[in-house]
Amino acid sequence: MSNFPMLSVKETLEKLKSLRSPLVLMHRHPDGDTVGSAFALLHVLKEMGINGYGLCADSMPERLAFMANAFPVFSALPEGDYDIISVDVPSPQQMGELAPHLTGKRAPVLMIDHHAVGTPFAPALIDSTAAAAGELVYLLAEEALRQGIIKQIPLAAKKAIYAALSSDTGCYRYSNTTSRTLRIAAALLEDKGVDSAEINHLLFEAKSERQLKAEAFAIENTHSAKNGKIAWVSITQAERKALGVEDEHLDTMIDMVRSRAGVEIAFVIRESKDGSFKASLRSSGFNVAQIAALFEGGGHVRAAGCTIAASHIDEAVKRLLDALLSRA
């Protein structure tokens, strides 16, 4: 059990009001939800008269840059006194290279998250029924508006929240999409400045040549087991370099694997620059978060991730596949 208190929306807003110089922390290998939620929160804080900054160990993917041009983002912990708030970060491991530095007096003071499996590391607003952390940022903004703390939810925040929701629901196609998710999306679209077509195009359709190369690699190198119900692809650093792609271009490889007819569980394992093996898992119903937890990872029932200790990528694949075959 966590020693940190679980907070309501109102209690979380009270903590936000007390911040002086916030750093909003995104998880390593940032996706649309952590980026959208972080920048939406920064815009809401600014509307409250509180200026903040972003913090992420990894660089921002090109395809998400449209959300991230209003506030500076640090890749290392800057000098000075800051209040660190994490968004969409379920456990310390997801802080990446920043984790060893975010302890003691520099530990996060607040976390906002929606993962069902994780390790709380600060007083937390956690709601695993939320499709994205962006939902929780919206509820905080809505409460601030209701209390008169802000006069409006900034347009930039609305766009970023919409992007966060769309990103984590696969453009509202995934099973984590709820009636609340759609009500929030509808409320955001009441503002004509929120262009859903443009946002979804940037998130899902505007792919760089290098991203398309990574997707083609996934299509050509997918393996399967259990009569095609489990499918996967792995990519080494050497293969990544040969393709001329960076880690950020590998994000949609999992979509290529899971799009095959008959696939119920899909995973991608990539060798990182530090020699570790990162796994992303998706399913149509099986609880992949439980599998990720075996490797000290976490996530959602149908979408999770972990790092697998192995001496070679084939060993990492075997360890994860064995865990799936013994339980799925």
pLDDT tens digits along 94-110: 998 999 999 998 999 99
Cβ–Cβ < 8 Å for 203, 301: no
Helix (H, G, I), strand (E, B) or coil at 38: helix
Cα 28-80-11 angle, rounded to 5 deg = 65
Cα 154-186-34 angle, rounded to 5 deg = 60
What rounded mean pLDDT belongs to the chain? Answer: 94
Which runs of consecutive H residues, i.e. helices, occur in 106-146? 133-146
Q: Are residues 25 and 111 in the same domain?
A: yes
Q: Are residues 175 and 310 in the same domain?
A: no
Rounded CA separation 142/152 (Å): 9
Tokens of 200: 């979804």
- In this predicted structure, what is the pLDDT of residue 159? 98
- In this predicted structure, what is the pLDDT of residue 285? 87
Rounded CA separation 154/37 (Å): 13
Rounded CA separation 153/178 (Å): 22
Q: Are residues 200 and 224 in the same domain?
A: no
Helix (H, G, I), strand (E, B) or coil at 82: coil
Closest listed residue to residue 27, CA positions, set 92, 108, 84, 74: 92
Segment 49-77 mean pLDDT:
92
Rounded CA separation 191/33 (Å): 20
Segment 266-295 mean pLDDT:
92
Query: Helices 133-146 and 9-17 sit at what angle, rounded to 10 degrees?
Result: 70
Q: Are residues 218 and 136 in the same domain?
A: no
Q: Are residues 151 and 257 in the same domain?
A: no
In a domain, 2, yes or no: no
Band of residue 295 on the pLDDT scale cut at 50, 70, 90:
very high
Q: Are residues 199 and 215 in the same domain?
A: no
Place of tokens 């997801």: 94
Domain that holds residue 262: 211-325
Rounded CA separation 299/328 (Å): 17
Q: Are residues 13 and 50 in the same domain?
A: yes
Q: Are residues 219 and 199 in the same domain?
A: no
CATH number at residue 263: 3.10.310.30
- In this predicted structure, what is the pLDDT of residue 2? 65
The residue count of the chain comes to: 328
The residue out of 177, 204, 231 marking a domain boundary is 204
DSSP 6: B
- Count CB neighbours of 247 within 10 A: 19
Per-residue pLDDT at 248 exceeds 70: yes
Q: Are residues 218 and 190 in the same domain?
A: no
Segment 111-130 mean pLDDT:
94
- In this predicted structure, what is the pLDDT of residue 63? 87
Sign of the C-alpha dihedral computed for residues 50, 54, 175 and 298 taken in this order: negative
In a domain, 174, yes or no: yes
Rounded CA separation 33/168 (Å): 6
pLDDT tens readout for residues 135-161: 999 999 999 999 999 999 999 999 999
CATH number at residue 38: 3.90.1640.10
Question: Which residues lie closer than 8 Å to 328 by C-beta, 6 or more apart?
Answer: 226, 229, 230, 264, 265, 286
In a domain, 62, yes or no: yes
- In this predicted structure, what is the pLDDT of residue 121? 96
- In this predicted structure, what is the pLDDT of residue 281? 96
In a domain, 229, yes or no: yes
Per-residue pLDDT at 1 exceeds 60: no
Structural domains of the chain, count: 2
Q: Are residues 35 and 171 in the same domain?
A: yes
Rounded CA separation 256/232 (Å): 10
Q: Are residues 31 and 86 in the same domain?
A: yes
In a domain, 1, yes or no: no
Among 6-10, 291-295, 298-302, the least confident range: 298-302
